[in-house]
């Protein structure tokens, strides 16, 4: 029987976790950038009643080779439900925390369970998954369920847990590329660490099931995945080709800010040497090493998938050592960074994470005045998906969802940074330009709409 203080603490943790994850949605209604890309694809699938071969909402059409599970799920709902569908990500992240709690409560005890859950929820990096409608959130949830189920099979012998692990590994493959990379690396590392073929069998079965369930479409997904890896690898080999990646190695400041829990790593090395707990050490360390290898894509994001492992082993050490001061310190530091991260996203309107009412008014103006197949340039480019969804225009950018698109978007970013916007507009015969936030670019055209921080220019 759980005590009243324990239940109160549990209630507070989950209430704060839920509130922080839906805060942007409650305040701004439309959030995230990947949100609108995923809703665009869902619209295409719903309209064509099948997975599309090409996404033609951009001046350079995209060959569709993305893991389709999230897009298929979203396509089941009409457009009028799209705003509410944004709550899928925060709900799934809360489910992830719930799974960590239930697992630790069953395997260890209630104290370890509540600490591990709190550390997971309030590690700042987990917030990045939780407020935008993207494939990262379901991918992370599926990975957690798969790996915790595998643990139950390896150390408790539950055959049902082995089957669940395979099923949810399959769902990871069908949902998100980067999480697929995380899962494969962890499973292979576990096979090596425990001299066991079982984790490798999970990988093999998952690939077979992914191909079967997708009716062969997963072959195309794999081809696209390989091309993405090659393209991202070239971004590393050619320094002048990088965009946001200024350093291919982990930045210690970035690491501590997003994952204060990582500071406990030396302690874990010194005090842990148990075969069962090494499962979580292997999980966390393998993804930490993978995060350094930028050739596999946005490598730093692999650390998000390591947070559950670090949360569990940190909570065990805290309880067994009685160092609750460390827990208090971690929670205070994490909370400060968490609040700072939320505030930064509110201030940095150029990141495209918040679609303001002023931007929506600009999008509505273009939608109501545009002609069929009009081309729109959206500045900053990070708002491109938002603009594509709300205006119905063809966007002067590539989607970036496929390998060629990464190269094209890099080219567009470079031209804009060099002040060659008018040349870009003329080359692609853009009809509209919408500018959100501050932008000092000189664009030849008629200013037809102004609303606080949003301006619409019509090209003659």
Does an H or E element contain 378, and which?
strand 375-379
Percent of the chain with pLDDT over 90: 46
Global pTM reads 0.92
Give the span between the Cα atoms of 41 and 71, in whole angstroms: 6
Give the span between the Cα atoms of 431 and 377, in whole angstroms: 8
Give the span between the Cα atoms of 402 and 409, in whole angstroms: 11
Instruction: Report residue 244's pLDDT band, with 50, 70 and 90 as the boundaries.
Output: very low
Q: pLDDT at position 309, please?
A: 94
Q: Residue 149 in contact with residue 164, Cβ under 8 Å?
A: yes
Which sequence spans correspond to the domains of the chain? 4-31+86-347, 357-458
Which range among 92-101, 243-252, 364-373 shows the weakest confidence by mean pLDDT? 243-252
In terms of pLDDT, which residue wins out, 416 or 205? 205
Question: What is the 3-state secondary structure of 112-153?
Answer: HHHHHHHHHHCCHHHHHHHCCCCCHHHHHHHHHHHHHHHHHH
Whether the per-residue pLDDT at 60 is higher than 80: the answer is: yes
Instruction: Report residue 245's pLDDT band, with 50, 70 and 90 as the boundaries.
Output: very low
Query: Could you give the strand order of the β-sheet that contains 454-458, starting from the edge strand earlier in sequence?
Result: 394-395, 375-379, 432-436, 454-458, 446-451
Mean pLDDT within 177-192: 95
Give the span between the Cα atoms of 232 and 293, in whole angstroms: 11
Mean pLDDT within 289-312: 82
Give the span between the Cα atoms of 177 and 239, in whole angstroms: 24
Give the span between the Cα atoms of 366 and 62, in whole angstroms: 23
Which range among 104-108, 230-234, 427-431 shows the weakest confidence by mean pLDDT? 230-234
Give the span between the Cα atoms of 144 and 142, in whole angstroms: 5
Work out the mean pLDDT of the chain and round it to a whole number: 86
């Amino acid at each position: 029987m759980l005590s009243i203080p324990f239940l109160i603490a549990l209630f507070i943790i989950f209430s704060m976790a839920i509130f922080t994850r839906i805060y942007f949605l409650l305040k701004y209604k439309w959030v995230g950038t990947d949100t609108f890309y995923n809703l665009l694809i869902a619209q295409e699938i719903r309209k064509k009643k099948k997975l599309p071969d090409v996404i033609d909402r951009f001046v350079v059409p995209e060959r569709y080779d993305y893991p389709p599970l999230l897009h298929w799920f979203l396509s089941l709902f009409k457009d009028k439900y799209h705003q509410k569908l944004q709550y899928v990500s925060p709900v799934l992240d809360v489910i992830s925390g719930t799974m960590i709690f239930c697992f630790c409560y069953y395997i260890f005890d209630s104290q370890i369970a509540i600490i591990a859950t709190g550390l997971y929820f309030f590690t700042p990096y987990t917030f990045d998954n939780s407020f935008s409608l993207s494939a990262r959130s379901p991918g992370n949830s599926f990975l957690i369920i798969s790996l915790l189920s595998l643990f139950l099979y390896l150390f408790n012998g539950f055959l049902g847990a082995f089957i669940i692990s395979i099923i949810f590994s399959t769902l990871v493959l069908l949902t998100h590329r980067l999480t697929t990379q995380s899962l494969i690396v962890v499973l292979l590392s576990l096979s090596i660490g425990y001299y066991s073929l079982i984790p490798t069998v999970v990988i093999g079965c998952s690939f077979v099931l992914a191909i079967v369930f997708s009716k062969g479409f997963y072959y195309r997904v794999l081809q696209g995945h390989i091309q993405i890896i090659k393209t991202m690898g070239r971004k590393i080999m050619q320094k002048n080709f990088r965009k946001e990646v200024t350093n291919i190695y982990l930045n210690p400041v970035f690491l501590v800010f997003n994952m204060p829990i990582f500071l406990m790593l030396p302690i874990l090395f010194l005090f842990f040497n148990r075969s069962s707990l090494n499962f979580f050490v292997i999980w966390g360390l393998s993804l930490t090493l993978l995060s350094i290898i930028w050739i596999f894509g946005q490598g730093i994001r692999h650390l998000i998938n390591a947070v559950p492992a670090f949360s569990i082993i940190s909570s065990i050490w805290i309880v067994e050592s009685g160092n609750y001061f460390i827990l208090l310190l971690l929670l205070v530091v994490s909370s400060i960074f968490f609040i700072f991260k939320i505030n930064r996203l509110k201030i940095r309107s150029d990141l495209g994470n918040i679609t303001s009412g002023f931007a929506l008014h600009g999008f509505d103006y273009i939608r109501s005045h545009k002609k069929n197949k009009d081309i729109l340039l959206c500045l900053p480019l990070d708002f491109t998906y938002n603009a594509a969804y709300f205006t119905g225009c063809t966007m002067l950018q590539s989607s970036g969802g496929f390998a060629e698109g990464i190269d094209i978007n890099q080219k567009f970013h470079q031209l804009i940074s060099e002040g060659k916007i008018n040349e870009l507009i003329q080359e692609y015969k853009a009809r509209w330009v919408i500018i959100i936030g501050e932008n000092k670019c000189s664009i030849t055209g008629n200013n037809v709409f102004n609303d606080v921080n949003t301006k619409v220019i019509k090209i003659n």
